[in-house]
């Protein structure tokens, strides 16, 4: 999934963009936070920070950085009540917030937190503020419980985002905004082409890694020739009791498992089941002699905005596990004499994956190589660097230029660009980097992509729309607008059997409220009718 690039939204003086990984651990964390406020993402600065430290300091630096980001706006508001005058120097504010994190959330010894933070503000060349830093932190030390409760009382989000969540999720607002301040659990997806879920869970136990099996049930009302048929899909994930480095997971480097959020693991099974339904419907139409609804011996499917490839890999795993299914073999049909033709025709699947950022295309290949999914006799995989708002799949199919989209795909998985507000627990820098204007811009981008891809879907095909956003403008409202403008689109209903998410007028929405549950994802499955 591609996330829109954004700049800093800090209303104080903008910090320097220089990122120097020198000095004490706290100084390096402060400089990393300044870089994030200057518009750099956490993913781009975290590794440089950790790689610059001794092994024994990495855990503390990681906790200090992530916790400060998660509590950023709450700490900022607390700081404004502690200071007698406005503090406009962003470097000084950031240093004090790092000190407050140590005292209120990491339980660092008072004298160590104060002394090291005062020394840090000197080391970043703001020694004139050392007395101020010392005074504020000492004020907090006198009653840390009081200030911790004050900090925890409300949300830790920018006001614009908190207001929008209040509008979208009034009943869940309090639990949601508090949930976004907490760390997210770590989930694994087992590569079932290599091992079973039970087998890998046992391997984890042998490696002293505690993991709990989590089963998520999805129910869909998929159409057949005459009515709708309820279909139930069960997805199995493993939730680790503690976050663990992938180097500590058995056979991870050999492709036995992937790190993927529980709710992200719903995407591939949903579109895979829809593809099976499409293939079966085509076979029935063929047998009925419907010349207008004949199936091709090749199924063509698309993963749009595919990087870094987690959902793509999951779909490939399911396809490889189903090589004896109707997806790969055309069912026997009657010949002209009315006899059953017992010869089963083999069918190939062409899977195209596109993303518009070349470096992220490299990530796709790396992940698929690790999982042993790059090469398959019956699955033709083509990874393309392309803009989903303009890319024409028919060009890839016929190797020729056309002026407009033509239907070529049987199923499309659209992991749509979004503001990623549903994964703030994992990427707390999102709160600092996103702006209110980003929501409108992202919704417009989503609309462009949908309008470009939808004509490329065959009649009877399915498009699964996915975001990791919790804002309705990017989700259910986007789908409502799309259906209003596309009379050949029908929303597939989720049944009451679903064990995840909240039913929306169109689709379902997961919210990151439960500390043991997955991130905030939205799903809507669309069916193309004649």
In 3-91, the DSSP E strands lie at none
Q: Return the bridge partners of 235, or none.
A: 216
CB 196 within 8 A of CB 325: no
**How many whole angstroms separate alpha carbon 334 and alpha carbon 412?**
31
For 148, the token pair is 């911790």
468 catalytic? Reply is yes
CA dihedral 397, 401, 404, 410 (to 10 degrees): 0
* Omega cis (within 30) before 59: no
Q: Return the bridge partners of 217, or none.
A: 234
Question: Which own/partner pairs from 396-403 qualify as long-range (CB within 8 Å, at least 24 positions apart)?
Answer: 396/352, 397/300, 397/350
Helix (H, G, I), strand (E, B) or coil at 338: coil
For 366, the token pair is 């790396």
**How many whole angstroms separate alpha carbon 303 and alpha carbon 382?**
10
Number of neighbours of residue 498 by Cβ within 10 angstroms: 19
CB 501 within 8 A of CB 244: no
Q: Which one from 151, 305, 418, 468 is the annotated catalytic residue?
A: 468
CB 317 within 8 A of CB 193: yes
Helix (H, G, I), strand (E, B) or coil at 461: strand
Helix (H, G, I), strand (E, B) or coil at 236: strand
Residues recognised as catalytic: 468
């Amino acid at each position: 999934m591609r996330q829109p690039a954004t700049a800093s939204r800090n209303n104080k003086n903008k910090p320097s963009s220089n990122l120097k990984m020198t000095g004490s651990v706290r100084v390096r964390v402060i400089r990393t936070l300044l870089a994030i406020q200057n518009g750099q993402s956490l993913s781009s600065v975290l590794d440089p920070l950790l790689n610059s430290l001794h092994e024994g300091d990495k855990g503390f630096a990681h906790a200090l950085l992530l916790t400060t980001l998660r509590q950023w706006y709450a700490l900022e508001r607390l700081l404004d009540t502690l200071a007698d005058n406005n503090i406009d120097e962003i470097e000084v504010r950031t240093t004090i917030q790092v000190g407050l994190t140590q005292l209120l959330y990491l339980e660092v010894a008072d004298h160590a937190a104060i002394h090291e933070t005062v020394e840090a503000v000197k080391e970043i060349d703001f020694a004139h503020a050392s007395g101020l830093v010392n005074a504020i932190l000492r004020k907090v030390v006198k009653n840390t419980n009081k200030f911790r409760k004050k900090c925890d009382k409300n949300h830790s989000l920018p006001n614009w985002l908190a207001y929008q969540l209040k509008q979208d999720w009034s009943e869940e607002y309090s639990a949601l905004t508090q949930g976004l301040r907490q760390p997210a659990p770590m989930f694994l997806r087992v590569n079932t082409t290599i091992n079973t879920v039970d087998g890998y869970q046992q391997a984890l136990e042998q490696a002293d890694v505690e993991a709990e099996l989590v089963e998520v049930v999805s129910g869909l009302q998929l159409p057949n020739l005459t009515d709708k048929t309820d279909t139930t899909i069960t997805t199995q994930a493993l939730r680790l009791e503690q976050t663990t480095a992938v180097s500590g997971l058995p056979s991870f480097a050999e492709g036995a498992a992937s790190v993927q959020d529980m709710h992200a693991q719903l995407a591939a099974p949903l579109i895979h089941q829809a593809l099976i339904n499409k293939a079966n419907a085509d076979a029935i139409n063929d047998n009925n002699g419907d010349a207008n609804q004949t199936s091709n011996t090749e199924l063509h499917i698309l993963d749009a905005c595919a990087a870094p490839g987690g959902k793509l890999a999951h779909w490939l795993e399911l396809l490889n596990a189903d090589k004896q299914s109707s997806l790969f073999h055309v069912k026997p049909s009657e010949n002209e004499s009315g006899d059953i033709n017992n010869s089963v025709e083999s069918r190939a699947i062409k899977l195209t994956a596109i993303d518009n950022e070349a470096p992220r295309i490299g990530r796709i290949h790396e992940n698929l190589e690790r999982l042993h999914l790059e090469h398959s006799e019956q699955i033709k995989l083509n990874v393309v660097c392309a803009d989903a708002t303009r890319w024409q799949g028919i060009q890839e199919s016929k190797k020729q230029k056309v002026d407009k989209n033509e239907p070529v795909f049987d199923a499309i998985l659209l992991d749509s660009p979004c503001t990623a507000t549903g994964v703030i627990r994992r990427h707390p820098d999102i709160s600092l980097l996103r702006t209110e204007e980003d929501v409108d811009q992202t919704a417009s981008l989503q609309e462009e992509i949908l309008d470009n891809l939808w004509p490329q879907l065959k009649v009877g095909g399915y498009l699964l729309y996915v975001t990791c956003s919790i804002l309705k403008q990017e989700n259910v409202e986007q789908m409502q607008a799309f259906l209003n403008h596309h009379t050949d689109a029908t929303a597939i209903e989720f049944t009451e059997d679903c064990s995840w998410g909240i039913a929306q007028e169109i689709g379902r929405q997961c919210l990151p409220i439960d500390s043991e549950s997955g991130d905030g994802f939205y799903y809507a499955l669309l069916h193309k009718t004649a």
